[in-house]
Structure 1
Amino acid sequence: MLQTAVAHTPLATTPHTPQATTPRTPLATTPPTPQAAHDAPRHPSPTTPVLDQEFADPDVVAVGGVYHAYATNVAGRNVQHAASTDLVHWTVDDKDVLPVLGDWVRPDPPHDVWAPEVFDNGDGFTLQYTARDRVGGRQCIGAAVAPSPGGPFRPVGGAALVCPTEAGGAIDASSYTENGTRHLLWKSDGNCCGLDTWLHIQPVSWDGTRVTGEPVRLLKQDRDWEGGLVEAPTLVKRDGRYVLLYSAGDYRTAEYATGWAVADSLTGPYVKGDEPLLTTRSFAGAIGGPGGQDVVTGPGGRDRILFHGRGADPSRRALYVADIGFADGRPVVRGSKTLYEAELARVHRAAIRDAKDAWGGRAVGHIDEPDSFVEFKVYAVSSGAHTLTVRYGNGSLDASGAPAAATHTLTVGAAPAGVIPYPYTGWD
């Protein structure tokens, strides 16, 4: 975490200073210095797909120095599979790693085999998958096993693993382990039928083929940006806190996005972040509808996030990878701009006011005194170069009443980091 302050630098000809509206901090737009010489090559840009084809809802598992990725059905394959040694260069498997579905799946297509989850069960590998139930037609979650991560996986049991038809069914399996217990995270698919969508956590057997306890609700849709549904849970523990990543909105649109919430205990309560983590806007339109995420420890021990999004070809959801870091449980993704509101920062000897053109309708103004400042806690992925962008308004006049430029001094920590010039714009 960095302490970033913008303070007033008095100018003899500038009786008024800019009113800070929405400081925006796109973090780590310049890659940091590599941590070690043996690190795998970093992809040049998080906004360039590492697999430029349909590869939605990616899941990744590391096995013996090889990363295996799995994705939602496409082109006659129930589950896609690709492999990489560096998370950048991928070899796509041309076979279906789940060629046969469980007996509980309806026999006629479409089977809608979505969002696979694969993990090492100690005696091989388990694949949890979503498909259409033959009885009620809702999507439910089943399990399959294989001796190796490349499959083929074979279904286990005659019934679905989780199938709450009264709640709309279940989709988007994800696995989390703690203290020798495996937990299954899943979404109740209530948006299919006018119900709430809840993310749940539920204990399962170590091989993930049987439930061993009741589900616990973690969170549901309650933010405007979520577009009426939440899904695709991913749970990690960092800095002693539980960080729940999730997707929300209509996956067919650019409004699809990735959010986050934190808790001090496994079952919550989970507190959502003020803003989503990955959005079309945070990537400046270079990636549309980023979501379906997974987190894995990459080469060199760095956390990486893999997710799908729509790039130059909006008809397909390609695979992207980026660095992800955490500060007191707060996630930050390299290349995804993080918005910091001036009025929510530490404001000293200045005023928070209403401003119709400011983000959120409020702004900080009257930063007029020598000791006036606005201080932000800025969270970055890692050390290296970062970019700070400040949105402002400046209606300053000089002694003759003519428009005048103004400046603020920027400090990072206790060290000066430069001077920000503000050309005249007028007030809103």
Structure 2
Amino acid sequence: MFAPIRDGYWLFPGVTYKGNFADPFVLPVKEAGGTVYYAYATNTAQRNLPIMKSTDLKTWNVTSYTSNPGWADSKCLNNYDPLNDKSIPAEIRHYNYNVANKPPLYLPNQVEAWLNADGLVSPRPSWARWMPQTGPGALGWRTQETWAPSVAHFNNKYHAYMAVRAEGAEDRFCIALALSTNPAGPFRYVKGNSAVVCPKDFVNGVIDPEPFEYKGKWYLLWKSEYSPNKGQGLHAQQIDTATGRLKSGSHRIDLLQRDTSAGSWEKHAIENPSMATIGGKTYLFYAGGEFWPYGRTLSNYSTGYAVCPQGPTAPCSRPSGDNRILGSVGKVQGPGGGSAFQTADGSWKFAYHAYTRDGDPNTRQLRIANIYRWKAGQISISDGAKARFADVPAHHQFAQQISWLAGVGITTGNKSGNFVPSGYTSRSDMAAFLYRYAGSPKYTPKGASPFADVSESSKFYKEIRWMQSAGLATGNRNPSGGKNLYKPGDPISREAMAAFLYRLSGTKGYTPRGAQPFADVNRNSKFYREIRWMYDNGITTGYKVPSGKPLYNEKGNTKRDAFAAFLQRYDTKYPQRSPAPPLN
């Protein structure tokens, strides 16, 4: 009956979720029969406060106020009148809707009174800017703009905090508070409608509020927007649970400031703070980067985390290295706007939004991922199974190759659960990797070591001896004379890596043909033939540069993630191929 309306906007009672749901926040609520998960989002589909619910975190349905959910399809006009249904908030029932393309047979106000499942029914605050919804299908209901809502239950009420566009600077937002006795609403602004957070010293105000309970006290997190001569940051302050507002006498805590250093993934923005205490340690999750692709294929928007030893009562710090745990990968682009929550079984989840690659970035869909805490305290987030390594998120350039390296038993990472992808591959590690790749052949070193710097006490002694006995390694000339040096602790150069793989393949007398593929490799290069063999067999592509031929960087160190890529590509060409077993 209402196909024209329902096809245009998905947010109607009983309809399964399929549309835009940005900046999601999920609140677990214990109800009769089990835990129900309520999800809230930035305004969409003509609603100030969109709300959905689920019992399995997979199927989400739009909430409803009506006491007769079958009315719209039953056509029982004589048996049910939504205007007299007291379960529908009075603000909705008494609103004078002005809707184009009115459905036949039904009065517009009856239809819209039933369809409008808006979680927020209050008129906009006196300080809010008038932001009417316009365009085809506009209901005329929404006249305010609300962002990134989040909800907490204390003092026997559900407290919804949200950013509302305010009067003043064009992009100024302040944080409002609305209350309800039900997680599905209706929510109404607190008496007086004054903003909870609206600092005068920030021209564009604040956004992305989220309440967080820490050691029996409630705190409100938020993000400060751009203001001249002020840095963007994430902040917290204690809440007075009697009023839901900031506690008198408490002070703002600056949790984290945006990293504006060259090359930082946060350089464009830092936002959407969310906290969780997992395994006795409190973490701050946040989004950053530039969400909109602006003509690019990929979005560089990401989600990272910081560690907060004192929760929201003191500044947090980023873990060393790349602290991103979600980034664009494959069809999932712009992952962010997220919040952490704990499920009924005690596991931790992360609700976030992302859009589909080559799709509409304005359609930011809800996704639920798993949060994992490693023994050493690192955090990783994965849509599926637990990541193999704490420091290799799914969006890492060589995540698939590193996972393959672990899956075939070549590496287990370090004791902290890290692979250290940006670290270099030492010559001793490389010997161990290739030995395992060759199937860990039975081998017992005999006689004296052929290398002056390798003894029986050396790490991976057997594997290095196997490399030499199999003809893969001859070592380096010893400037002091005597036996050659293997230099086990040195990083292996990219040119030497090419030589080792060439020898491992059993290839003999390869003759390169055609134009030089790399700008920095020519026939005078020490391992020119081996590098060309790598390129011609698809084992290396080199480094792209803004213009001209790529670079191979032959003298550069082989990073551990690059080693994984080299060996995985090698395996597709020479699967599990190894030299003839050496003689003992």
TM-score (norm 1): 0.68
Matched, 1:55 2:112: no
Q: Which residue in 1 is equivalent to 2:125?
A: 102
Alpha-carbon distance in 1 for matches of 2:228, 2:145: 17
For structure 1, which segment, 332-341 or 69-78, has the greater mean C-alpha deviation from structure 2 after superposition? 332-341
Aligned residues: 328
- Cα distance, 1:239 vs structure 2: 2.0
Which amino acid letter does the alignment assign opposite residue 39 of structure 2? A
Matched, 1:218 2:218: no
Q: Which residue in 2 is equivalent to 1:122?
A: 155
Matched, 1:330 2:378: yes
**Higher relative contact order by CA 8 Å / sep ≥ 6: 1 or 2?**
1
**SS at structure 2 position matched to 1:301:** coil
Matched, 1:68 2:38: yes
Alpha-carbon distance in 1 for matches of 2:569, 2:45: 54
- Cα distance, 1:317 vs structure 2: 0.1
Change in Cα spacing, 1:359 to 1:208, as seen in structure 2 (3 Å) is farther
Higher normalized strand content (fraction of residues): 1
Which amino acid letter does the alignment assign opposite residue 194 of structure 2? A
* Mapping for residues 251-290 of structure 1, pairs under 5 Å: 251-253=291-293, 254-266=299-311, 267-273=313-319, 274-275=321-322, 276-280=324-328, 284-290=329-335
Change in Cα spacing, 1:334 to 1:135, as seen in structure 2 (3 Å) is closer
Q: Which residue in 2 is equivalent to 1:92?
A: 62
* Mapping for residues 230-269 of structure 1, pairs under 5 Å: 230-253=270-293, 254-266=299-311, 267-269=313-315
Q: Which residue in 2 is equivalent to 1:363?
A: 424
Q: Which residue in 1 is equivalent to 2:365?
A: 318
Which whole-Å deviations, capped at 9, do the CAs of 1:81-128 have from their partners, x for residues lacking one?
101011111102352111223232123447431000111123121110
Which amino acid letter does the alignment assign opposite residue 300 of structure 1? D
Alpha-carbon distance in 1 for matches of 2:378, 2:314: 16
Matched, 1:169 2:205: yes
Which amino acid letter does the alignment assign opposite residue 52 of structure 2? A
> Are the aligned partners of 1:118 and 1:127 in contact in 2 as well (CA < 8 Å)?
yes
- Cα distance, 1:76 vs structure 2: 2.1
> Are the aligned partners of 2:176 and 2:193 in contact in 1 as well (CA < 8 Å)?
no
Alpha-carbon distance in 1 for matches of 2:431, 2:131: 70
Which amino acid letter does the alignment assign opposite residue 197 of structure 1? Q
Kindly name which structure, 1 or 2, has the bigger radius of gyration based on alpha carbons: 2
Which whole-Å deviations, capped at 9, do the CAs of 1:356-414 have from their partners, x for residues lacking one?
xx986x631423478449xxxxxxxxxxxxxxxxxx95432549883899xxxxxxxxx
> Are the aligned partners of 1:262 and 1:330 in contact in 2 as well (CA < 8 Å)?
no
Alpha-carbon distance in 2 for matches of 1:155, 1:56: 22
> Are the aligned partners of 2:174 and 2:205 in contact in 1 as well (CA < 8 Å)?
yes
Alpha-carbon distance in 2 for matches of 1:302, 1:232: 22
Alpha-carbon distance in 1 for matches of 2:147, 2:243: 17
Which amino acid letter does the alignment assign opposite residue 364 of structure 1? T
Q: Which residue in 1 is equivalent to 2:185?
A: 151
Change in Cα spacing, 1:51 to 1:309, as seen in structure 2 (3 Å) is farther
**SS at structure 1 position matched to 2:345:** helix
TM-score (norm 2): 0.51
Alpha-carbon distance in 1 for matches of 2:242, 2:19: 31
Change in Cα spacing, 1:320 to 1:79, as seen in structure 2 (3 Å) is same
Alpha-carbon distance in 1 for matches of 2:59, 2:157: 25
Alpha-carbon distance in 1 for matches of 2:308, 2:160: 27
Unaligned runs of 5+ in 1: 1-49, 348-357, 374-391, 406-418
- Cα distance, 1:134 vs structure 2: 2.7
Which whole-Å deviations, capped at 9, do the CAs of 1:244-290 have from their partners, x for residues lacking one?
0001123323111111001221234422132211000xxx3221000
For residue 395 of structure 1, the aligned residue among 495, 499, 503 is: 499
- Cα distance, 1:291 vs structure 2: 0.4
Q: Give the CA RMSD over aligned residues.
A: 3.3
**SS at structure 1 position matched to 2:265:** helix
Which amino acid letter does the alignment assign opposite residue 98 of structure 1? L
Unaligned runs of 5+ in 2: 1-15, 64-115, 133-142, 294-298, 384-392, 406-412, 436-458, 462-493, 511-529, 534-566, 575-584
**SS at structure 2 position matched to 1:225:** coil
**SS at structure 2 position matched to 1:364:** coil
> Are the aligned partners of 2:276 and 2:341 in contact in 1 as well (CA < 8 Å)?
no
> Are the aligned partners of 2:253 and 2:315 in contact in 1 as well (CA < 8 Å)?
no
Which amino acid letter does the alignment assign opposite residue 170 of structure 1? V
Which whole-Å deviations, capped at 9, do the CAs of 1:289-345 have from their partners, x for residues lacking one?
000111222243321111000025333100001111112442211245275999xx7
Q: Which residue in 1 is equivalent to 2:146?
A: 113
> Are the aligned partners of 2:17 and 2:61 in contact in 1 as well (CA < 8 Å)?
no
Q: Which residue in 2 is equivalent to 1:298?
A: 343
Matched, 1:309 2:354: yes
Q: Percent identity?
A: 28
Alpha-carbon distance in 2 for matches of 1:114, 1:395: 56
> Are the aligned partners of 2:126 and 2:193 in contact in 1 as well (CA < 8 Å)?
yes
**SS at structure 1 position matched to 2:286:** strand
Alpha-carbon distance in 2 for matches of 1:99, 1:252: 31
Q: Which residue in 2 is equivalent to 1:139?
A: 173
Change in Cα spacing, 1:182 to 1:116, as seen in structure 2 (3 Å) is same
Alpha-carbon distance in 2 for matches of 1:308, 1:207: 33
Change in Cα spacing, 1:421 to 1:309, as seen in structure 2 (3 Å) is closer
Alpha-carbon distance in 1 for matches of 2:223, 2:569: 48
- Cα distance, 1:136 vs structure 2: 5.0
Change in Cα spacing, 1:92 to 1:207, as seen in structure 2 (3 Å) is farther
**SS at structure 2 position matched to 1:395:** helix
* Mapping for residues 4-83 of structure 1, pairs under 5 Å: 51-63=17-29, 64=31, 65-83=35-53
Higher normalized helix content (fraction of residues): 2
